[in-house]
Amino acid sequence: MILDYPHAFPPDTVERLLPSAASARDALATHDAGLEAMLERRSRDFAQLVSHPQDAALVERTADAIRIAYARLATRHGKLGTYFHAYHNEGHILEICDGRLTGLFAAQEANELSLRDWCTLLLFGAGHDLRQREAPMFASGIGANERASTEEMLRILDLTGFDREGEDADIYVALELMIAGSTFDARSLGGNQAYNAAELVQSGGALAAKLEGKLDKHRPDWRSDPALVCGHRLALIAADLDTANVADAFEAFAETGENLCREREMLSGRSLDAGESALPVLGFLTDGQDRFFFDLHRFNSPIGHTAFEAGKRVNAPLLKALTVGVRARIAVGGPPSTGRQVIDAYHATLADLLAGSNDSE
């Protein structure tokens, strides 16, 4: 491992239950067709980059690795499991590997990326959130969930025919840096505050922005290693893909905020129908979203900026209007009684904004 971490994360029950691409296909047989449709679109996109049989084999290995990751996340926290997470589920894989990667393809810098780069970005999208319930532990600025996800994703590569010590070593190196760089605000939480992965998304920027300094500390000669240089470049792009919800169509952006909020309350043990969730939900959907969008979020890579900055600029006034509108609706009736009441106000305000936007077109 490139960055020091004092703890290993062995396979869990879900990993043992789904040990192969075949078992993943079987598990997903009753799932929707979103994954295979995405993989087919990516295969068409990559066709122009495939010039040798080994290129086609790389695309196939990548697809099988994604199938395993998708099935495992769906089983842990998605449609195939019993412990649903509103944000960190298999849908997030599609958000990154489908819509957002399509945005990267349209950027002028896209031709600077090789087939291996694109496949590695897809693998990141599938594997960076595999584990979400690890006990809090931070080392080298990396969270336990990210470290556990890295170790599992590298084992998935082993299972699907990637060569860890040989021709694919660069992909292993890149994924370690990319998933580490997706850590949000990885600090020990003081007092009795519980670890909450959804909370951290709005509490600090991604580690990717500090990854250069981390490498200087742990691998002082990294700039002379082509694999580390490439991995660092891809880590900056990966962080932009992970946080490019700020540039999604506004309805999708607002839904992401709500899903993060729902997951945060679930992990905190607060019912949306109870009074204890009212003020936390209001704060998350207003001040929290404002703070992340305007103060914390930055694009880290040139291609990320090209692909997504315009969409973020479009969403900026809409987010301001949404948060002001939610506060105004709540103010009319006095302090909210439950978190669900706040979410209802959020829905109503969003519907008004979207209707107004459609009327002006």
Q: Which letter, b or e, does each residue of 244-270 get, where b requires 16 or more Cβ atoms within 10 Å of its Cβ? A: bbbbbebeebbbbbbbbbbbbbbbeeb
Is the four-CA dihedral 80, 86, 89, 93 of positive or negative sign? positive
pLDDT digits (tens, 9 = 90+) for 57-113: 999 999 999 999 999 999 999 999 999 999 999 999 999 999 999 999 999 999 999
pLDDT digits (tens, 9 = 90+) for 171-200: 999 999 999 998 875 444 444 444 455 554
Mean residue pLDDT of the chain comes to 92
pLDDT at 135: 86
In this prediction, residues 100-128 reach a mean pLDDT of 96
Domain residue ranges of the chain, discontinuous segments joined by +: 13-360
- How many other CB atoms are found less than 10 A from the CB of residue 175? 27
Decide if pLDDT at 273 tops 50.
Answer: yes
- The model's confidence at residue 222, banded by pLDDT at 50, 70 and 90, is very high
pLDDT at 204: 55
pLDDT digits (tens, 9 = 90+) for 36-56: 999 999 999 999 999 999 999
Q: Is 206 helix (H, G, I), strand (E, B) or coil?
A: strand
Q: Is 184 helix (H, G, I), strand (E, B) or coil?
A: strand
Q: How far apart are CA 146 and CA 151, in angstroms?
A: 9
Q: How far apart are CA 306 and CA 97, in angstroms?
A: 18
pLDDT digits (tens, 9 = 90+) for 224-260: 999 999 999 999 999 999 999 999 999 999 999 999 9
Percent with pLDDT over 90 in the chain:
83
**Which residues lie below 8 Å from residue 66, measured CB to CB, with a gap of 6+?**
35, 39, 93, 97, 122, 123, 126
pLDDT digits (tens, 9 = 90+) for 136-149: 887 777 888 999 99
pLDDT at 333: 87
Q: How far apart are CA 58 and CA 43, in angstroms?
A: 11
Q: How far apart are CA 222 and CA 224, in angstroms?
A: 5
Query: What's at 183, amino acid-wise?
Result: T
Tokens read off for 352: 């008004």
pLDDT at 57: 97
- Contact, 264 vs 282, CB < 8 A? no
pLDDT at 185: 58
Instruction: Indicate the CATH number for domain 13-360.
Output: 1.10.1300
Decide if pLDDT at 359 tops 80.
Answer: no
Tokens read off for 141: 């600025």
Decide if pLDDT at 360 tops 70.
Answer: no
DSSP category for residue 142: B
Helices assigned H by DSSP within the chain: 13-17, 21-27, 34-46, 53-77, 90-94, 101-105, 115-127, 144-159, 169-181, 197-201, 211-218, 226-243, 250-268, 278-283, 289-290, 302-333, 339-360
- The model's confidence at residue 356, banded by pLDDT at 50, 70 and 90, is confident
Decide if pLDDT at 289 tops 90.
Answer: yes
In this prediction, residues 303-317 reach a mean pLDDT of 98
In this prediction, residues 276-280 reach a mean pLDDT of 97
In this prediction, residues 10-37 reach a mean pLDDT of 95
pLDDT at 194: 47
pTM value surpassing 0.85: yes
Q: Which of 73, 225, 224 has the alpha carbon at shortest distance from 152?
A: 73
**Which residues lie below 8 Å from residue 237, measured CB to CB, with a gap of 6+?**
104, 121, 300, 301, 303, 304
